[in-house]
Amino acid sequence: MTTQTTCESPLVIQLADQTKCQCKDFVITDCTDCQPLLSSAFQPTQTQLLLLKNQKESLVKKGQSLADLIHSLEQPIREKSEARERTIEGIESLERDLKVLRAKCEDEAIQVELIQKSKETVKKELEELNTRLFEEVDKMVRSEREEQARIRQENEDLEQALKEASGRLEDVVGQLEALKDQMKKRPPTAYDCHFRAQLEMMARPGSGYRLETVKDEAALMDLSDFIQLAGQTPLRKLHSLRYMKYCIREDIEPCLRFGPNPRLATKKIMDSILVKTCFVEECPEGFREKRQSREDVTATLWERFKNNHSSFSGCQACGRRVKEEEKENVLRYRFRISYFDEWACVDRYCRDRLVAVIEFYSFIRHLRTGFYKHQSIHELYQQTSRLRLQMLLARYSIKI
């Protein structure tokens, strides 16, 4: 028999006060009849509740993870946004630069076009210049050929004139040799009385002897003009005066032209005599031997090949060779044209030429300084004539 229990019974009230279920709305009873029924009815609900709790916890965890993910993605998104903005700014800057480059490119294209036009213009001008240059070169070549032909013709004329002059010179040399032979055949007293007396009378203007002379007013005027200009002209420019040019052409250069094989330049000797650096004196004892030993060491290569000798042995002015046994008698004098040059041996004839020119220049130097201002122009002219005659006699190897 089943015992009925109502809600108002003390037992139900006691159970209600003692035990409650987890959902707080359901009352657990110890009734064996109700408990299975209640358990079967509550079990799905409890299972569903647990499932919902688990889902809730899962959703909470998932929401938390999503919040963390959102929080972690905010910084990259912010950085990417900033990078995007910077990229946009860079693109805008590049677009502006591109516009500037386009403008520059257009300007460069215009400049290239102008340069191309200038290049074409320069090319045309260069072609015209080359054409004119070739024309000028052609003219110069033709002119040079004409000049060479003219010079060749003049050279032939000069060679012909030289041959004629050489023929006349040979005649003069023959006459001179004949004159020398005649003079050698004369008695010594006759020679001394004739020539020495004339030279002494010309050297002594105050002497009582006078030669019959004819005054050349033009020559005296030239000498007078030279004396006036010489005192105002520097020594280095003395050769530019007309009177000196005449004396150089007629007397000085021929006197210093030492034969066909000279070893000295005429102009170099003239310049040294002008500045008073040319010295001539007798050779001291033993000088020739020392000089020859130095020449053997310092002989030029050309001389060794040309002459097949170790050194030149002879007069250092005219180039005349002297035999070894004749050196002592022939090479009795020495000279030099500078303080820094070595002494060189010369024979008597070349020494006489040098001395004649040196005396003439010494007279010119005294004339510039006014040393002869007390003498008349006629007396000065006689002295210049005597010195010029002395150079002429030295040229013909006549003993002065």
Between CA 234 and CA 238, with CA 236 as vertex, the angle to 5 degrees is 70
More confident residue, 19 or 63: 63
Ranges 191-200, 227-236, 357-366, 369-378: which has the least confidence: 191-200
pTM score, whole prediction: 0.46
pLDDT score of 191: 40
Is it the case that residue 88 has pLDDT exceeding 80?
yes
C-alpha 95: how far from its chain's center?
A: 56
Cα–Cα distance measured from residue 384 to residue 366, given in angstroms and rounded to the nearest whole number? 12
pLDDT score of 164: 81
The overall average pLDDT reported for the chain is 79
Tens digit of pLDDT for each residue in 385-394?
999 999 999 9
pLDDT score of 92: 92
pLDDT score of 16: 47
Provide the pLDDT confidence category of residue 1 given band limits of 50, 70 and 90.
very low
Ranges 158-162, 167-171, 262-266: which has the least confidence: 167-171
Ranges 159-173, 186-200, 280-294, 343-357: which has the least confidence: 186-200
Is it the case that residue 206 has pLDDT exceeding 60?
no
Is it the case that residue 14 has pLDDT exceeding 50?
no
Write out the DSSP string of 105-158.
Answer: HHHHHHHHHHHHHHHHHHHHHHHHHHHHHHHHHHHHHHHHHHHHHHHHHHHHHH
Closest CA to 270 of 239, 315, 241, 234: 239
pLDDT score of 11: 45
Listed by start position, the domains of the chain span 50-150, 216-287+314-396
Is it the case that residue 129 has pLDDT exceeding 70?
yes
Tens digit of pLDDT for each residue in 225-265?
998 898 888 888 889 999 999 999 999 999 998 878 888 88
Ranges 7-21, 77-91, 220-234: which has the least confidence: 7-21
Mean of pLDDT values over 305-311: 51
Tens digit of pLDDT for each residue in 32-46?
666 666 667 777 788
Q: Is 198 exposed, middle or buried (0-12, 13-18, 19+ CB in 10 A)?
A: middle
Mean of pLDDT values over 360-375: 88
351 contacts 280 by C-beta, under 8 angstroms: yes
Provide the pLDDT confidence category of residue 2 given band limits of 50, 70 and 90.
very low
pLDDT score of 291: 65
Is it the case that residue 298 has pLDDT exceeding 60?
no
Dihedral of CA 285/341/356/225: which sign?
negative
- What are the backbone angles phi and psi of residue 33, rounded to the nearest 5°? -80, -35
Write out the DSSP string of 338-387.
Answer: STTSPPEEE-HHHHHHHHHHHHHHHHHHHHHTTTTTTS-HHHHHHHHHHH
* C-alpha dist (Å) from residue 238 to 71, 120, 232, 365: 114, 60, 10, 10
Residues of the chain with pLDDT > 90: what percent? 24
Q: Is 212 exposed, middle or buried (0-12, 13-18, 19+ CB in 10 A)?
A: exposed
15 contacts 29 by C-beta, under 8 angstroms: yes
Ranges 2-6, 341-345, 347-351, 354-358: which has the least confidence: 2-6
Is it the case that residue 8 has pLDDT exceeding 90?
no
